[in-house]
Amino acid sequence: MNLLDILTIDCIRAPLMATTKRAVIDELVDVLAAAGRVTNAPALKEAVWMREQTRTTGIGHGLAIPHGKGAGVANLAMAIGKPAEALDFEAIDGQPVQLIVLLASPPDRTSEHIQALARVSRLMTMEAFRRRIYASSSPQEIYDLLASQEKAPA
Amino acid sequence: MTSPAIASGGLTLAQTEPGAIAVALLVFGVLMCLSVLGSRAFERRGVPIVLLFLILGILGGSEGIGGIPFENYHLAFRLGTIALVLILLDGGLNTSVSSIRSTLGPSVTLATVGVAGTAGVFALCARALGLTWHEAILVGAIVSSTDAAAVFAVLRGGRLRLKPRVQSTVEVESCLNDPLAVILTASAVAWVAGGATPGWSLLYEIPLQLVIGAVVGAALGWASVTLLRWSGVTTIGLLPVVTLGSAFASFGLATVLDGSGFLAVFVTGVMLGKGHIPYRRGVTRVHDALAWLAQVSMFLMLGLLVFPSRLWPVAGTGLALGLVLALVARPLVAVLCLLPFRFSAREVTFLGWTGLRGAVPIVLATFPVMAGVPGGERVFNIVFFIVVVSTLVPGATIRAAARMCRVGEPAPAAPEASIEMLSLRPLQGEVRMYQIGPDVAVCDAALREVSLPESASVVMVVRGGQVIAARGHTVIRAGDHAYVFMRPEDEPQVGLLFGQSAEG
């Protein structure tokens, strides 16, 4: 799984306008919709929010990976948002979140969906990488960082 | 009918003792078994099982069919105290730090201001109903706290689940408010007995006692966790002995230092529960059993202590006061206490309704009798009625109340089978259970598609009554319970894919 296959630079927003958990999810889904990756934005918002109710996707160390499956998603898509200020995502470690990676998947592509989730969460366990991506301020910077990581042998 | 122990009083110990203890164990054992047999019928009606034990105790007593003479208030107080220690230890073990933290404000307010307020409002009502000031204040102090044992029995024994914040408020309140009721009762008894007039000193003495109790409890809890982790005990049966010992020591030390022993025990329990002690689940289970044993024994004993013929004269007053407590004093004070905390009107209504009383007031009611306060036995009998009424009324209606106030939650179905890892040493792995919801990423995925961290693996899937081996082609469905083995530090990554978990 190469994350660059599912991420385009127009799906990265830094800084985000939203300042709450729910609004951030809505904003990132709208980013995917604007890029033509999602046709039914309201349904996807609801799916991601429902998943969030099961258990927060704020997995600690300042990262949240909200995700959901939706009928209006043709191919696995990813959006990244960097909040203007770290925000509360009810993360498992109680820390505010500095980067939100949203994954949208077609309902029948569970395998890719899971691989992408695992890939993002594993990538972000590298502390040096995490620090650099949290320090970056523009979509281009975030994209380049990911690109350097995805091209390097995993 | 008299028991052999009394009838053969003139004989030597060697001749009487084996028989006496044998009869006592026989009768008590049969009562204990009977009470458990009846528990299902009670549970179905939502009546706290503890009342059944009480009734059996009365039946076994000197005026019932059992004919066991028991009028030793001192012994009842001592055994009752030990039983409460066991119950509060178990309560602490099962209470997470996060639930305490999230409800600290409301539960502490209910456990302090609420207890004092309930005692006050109740005393006024009792005076209006014809009790003397002495009696009214004594009874008010005695019945002022909700009971941990009754609350845990109803909330955890029954299949009732409340919204987490409501549930932990009720539970944490019931564990924290006994200390204040003890202090108030002791002061009231001292005052009625003609000694010290309670002055303003109570205003700093009470917080001081609570602080001492909390500090002693935390210190001994920490020491006990450290001891268990580093002592390298390999005999599993000894572990609960250590945890039990630390609870006893905690109660004793705090009380000797003029602190609240009951709070100390609860805090020790919380520390033990959150500390990574070896074989934790096994140890917790032992304490669950001990807490039940304590409850059964305590209520049977308190039943034995009651004489129906002495109850009748106070029946009317007792019943009326029980209703006053359940319908007026508790709801009024609870509503006022909860105003500053953002609870919905329905939640406040529910919290006001669930002021279950239990064994604590009955144990406290032995105070005035032991102190030789005039009318002490009358107080004891009135308290008995109040406890029965205020346990029966909210207890039997708690489910309906939860429904009406919409504070209940559909309890997730428990898996039909489970796996747990038992280990003496803290290991590098654990098994966690995930209940699969339709929204999580792994739902409808075959296990071979689920990329997990290197040292994690799904080990079993439970679907309804079926236990399924975790093979590559096994597909995870909504409603399944999946058991995943992992290193603790990998849990966030696993949880991202599987959703909500409970320890296996």
* Interface contact A70, partner B, CB < 8 A: no
B444 shares contact with chain A (CB less than 8 Å): yes
- Decide if B225 is inside a domain: yes
- Give contacts of A92 with chain B, Cβ < 8 Å: 492, 495
Contact B493 A59 (CB under 8 A): yes
CB contact under 8 A, A59 and B496: yes
> Are B388 and B451 members of one domain?
no
Nearest Cα residue in chain A from B502? A55
| B370, B405, B440 - which closes a domain | B405
Same domain? B399 vs B441:
no
Looking at the complex, does the CB of residue B457 fall below 8 Å from at least one CB of chain A?
no
Tokens, residue A98 = 């500095």
Q: Tell me whether residue B234 is in a domain.
A: yes
Q: Return phi, psi of residue B187, to 5°.
A: -65, -40
Tell me the shortest Cα–Cα distance from A17 to chain B, in angstroms.
25
A47: nearest CB among B439, B451, B497: B439
Q: Which of B358, B389, B405 is the last residue of a domain?
A: B405
For residue B394, being part of any structural domain is answered with: yes
Tokens 């009918």: give the residue: B1
Nearest residue in chain A measured CA to CA from B454: A122
How many structural domains compose chain B? 2
Whether residues B474 and B401 fall in one domain: no
How close B102 gets to chain A, by Cα (Å)?
Answer: 13
State which residue of chain A sits closest to B475, comparing Cα positions: A110
Is the ipTM value over 0.95, yes or no?
Answer: no
Q: What is the CATH classification number for the domain harbouring B483?
A: 3.30.70.1450
Same domain, B457 and B330: no
Q: What is the pLDDT at residue B461? A: 92
Give the mutation candidate from B409, B433, B442, B493 for the A interface (greatest A CB count, under 10 A).
Answer: B493
CATH of the domain at A26: 3.40.930.10
Which chain B residue has its CA at the smallest distance from A51's CA?
Answer: B439
DSSP annotation of B408 reads B
The answer to whether B480 and B465 are in contact (CB under 8 A) is no
B-contacting residues of A 80-109, CB under 8 Å?
92, 105
Query: B399 and B459 share a domain?
Result: no
Is B12 domain-assigned? no
Are B168 and B125 part of one and the same domain?
A: yes
Tell whether the torsion through CA atoms of B467, B470, B474 and B479 is positive or negative. positive
A71 in contact with chain B, both atoms CB, cutoff 8 A: no
Closest CA to B383 of B191, B158, B126, B192: B126
Q: A71 is in which domain, residue-wise?
A: 3-151
Q: Which residues, in sequence order, are CB contacts of B350 under 8 Å at separation 6+?
A: B162, B166, B401, B402, B405, B407
CA–CA separation, B439 and B53 (whole Å) = 45
Q: How many CB pairs under 8 A join A and B?
A: 61
Predicted confidence pLDDT, tens digits, chain B (504 residues)? 344 444 444 445 555 667 777 877 887 788 778 767 776 666 666 666 777 778 888 887 777 776 677 778 888 888 888 988 998 898 888 887 877 887 888 888 888 888 889 999 999 998 988 888 888 889 999 988 887 667 666 666 556 677 777 888 888 888 788 878 888 888 888 888 776 666 677 778 888 888 999 999 999 999 999 888 887 777 778 889 999 999 999 999 999 998 889 889 999 999 998 877 777 778 888 998 898 888 888 888 888 888 888 888 888 888 898 888 888 888 899 888 888 887 888 888 888 888 777 778 888 888 888 888 888 888 888 988 888 887 778 777 777 787 787 777 665 666 767 777 776 666 678 888 898 988 899 999 999 989 888 889 999 999 988 899 999 999 999 889 999 998 888 888 999 999 887 754
- B395/B463 same-domain check: no
Answer yes or no: do B335 and B476 share one domain: no
Inspect the interface and report whether the beta carbons of A117 and B449 lie closer than 8 Å: no
Which residue segment(s) compose the domain that B446 sits in? 430-498
CATH number at residue B133: 1.20.1530.20
pLDDT tens per residue, range B3-42: 444 444 444 555 566 777 787 788 778 877 876 777 666 6
The minimum CA-CA distance between B428 and chain A, rounded to whole Å, is 19
Interface test with B, best of A51, A93, A105 (most B CBs within 10 A): A51
- Closest residue in B to A122 (Cα–Cα): B493
Q: Model pTM?
A: 0.73
Whole-Å CA distances, A51 to A16, A44, A57, A70, B441: 22, 11, 8, 12, 9
The answer to whether position B61 is within a domain reads no
Q: Smallest Cα–Cα separation from B66: which of B296, B306, B360, B382?
A: B306
**Length of chain B in residues, anyone?**
504
Task: Give the three-state DSSP class for B162.
Answer: strand
Burial status of residue B415 (CB atoms within 10 A of its CB: 0-12, 13-18, 19 or more): buried
Q: How are beta strands A77-83 and A63-64 bridged, if at all?
A: unpaired
* Neighboring chain A residues of B442 at a CB cutoff of 8 Å: 110, 114
Among A54, A95, A127, most B C-beta atoms within 10 A, so best to mutate, is A54
Contact A115 B437 (CB under 8 A): no
pLDDT value, residue B7: 42
Q: Based on the fold, state whether residues B189 and B245 are members of the same structural domain.
A: yes
Place of tokens 């597909």: B475
The predicted-structure confidence for B206-224, as pLDDT tens digits, reads as follows: 888 889 999 999 999 999 9
Enclosing H/E stretch for B483: strand B481-486
Q: Best interface-test mutation with A: which of B433, B440, B487, B496 has the largest number of A CBs within 10 A? A: B496
B30-39 long-range CB contacts below 8 Å, 24 or more apart? B31/B56, B31/B57, B31/B60, B31/B66, B31/B300, B32/B296, B32/B297, B32/B300, B35/B296, B35/B300, B36/B296
In a domain? residue B50:
no
Count the domains in chain A. 1
Cβ-based contacts of A115 with chain B (< 8 Å): 449, 451
CB contact, 8 Å: A121 with chain B? yes
